Amino acid sequence: MKEGIIGILGGMGPEATLDLFQKIIKNTKAVKDQDHFRVLIDNNPKIPDRTPAIFGSGENPLPMMIETAKNLERAGADFIVIPCVSAHYFIKELREGIAIPVISIIEEVAGEIERRLPGIKRTGLIATTGTIRAGLFHDPLREIGVEVLVPTTEDQESIVMSAIYGESGIKAGFTSLENKEKILKASNALIEKGAQGIIGGCTEVPLVVQQGDMEVPFLDSLNILALSAIRIAKGKVR
């Protein structure tokens, strides 16, 4: 059976795009170059920021997302994955705008919890304010009986958004111990409130936090998406 060609609609941000590609490579069962998948990447950091757009105060990223997705479609991608959670606010219109499937990172995370962590009833969410306010994870997780806990408004802005968007934040290329400690501080506050797992609901979060950094399971949304891309492309996961 012919393998599928993976298309990555990237650039939101560039390091998360690179991280997803690396995770696809590392999770593919391969002993030689030819065992790996064809992966097409359009790393387009010119796509407008999703968070201001969600709040109605920024340029709509959807037209450029569709244009970038069509580039991948024309180049031969069989399906598309997006290493940016907040971009999924626009996934319905994106799916309508192109002819190939777009795999939802949110749906894949919900499926992972249902399959592998069925005992979880409350999970913490570390994500951008846009993702939280839009409730992108809330409805899919509610459907499988999982309550979503989010940071307080103060923690969200002064800790989480500072770690992601600050001048020395992860998006600025600072995958430092300081930013890791900020994410862990916000995560631990949710664990104290009863979270039985923590979702890395922004694709920059797994750049500083990994499984084993906290006392509950950490759901690396990018790794989950990488594994899904491999399965869909009909490969074998290590």
Active site residues: 84, 202
HSE, side-chain direction, 13 A CA sphere, residue 5: 13
Residues pairing with 123 in the sheet:
148
Which of 80, 78, 77, 100 lies closest to 88 in space, CA to CA? 80
Q: What are phi and psi of 210, to 5 degrees?
A: -130, 170
CA dist list (Å): 56 to 53, 114, 134, 136, 152:
5, 33, 12, 16, 22
Q: Can you give the three-state secondary structure of 13-78, one letter per residue?
A: CHHHHHHHHHHHHHCECCCCHHHCCCEEEEECCCCCCHHHHHCCCCCCCHHHHHHHHHHHHHHCCC
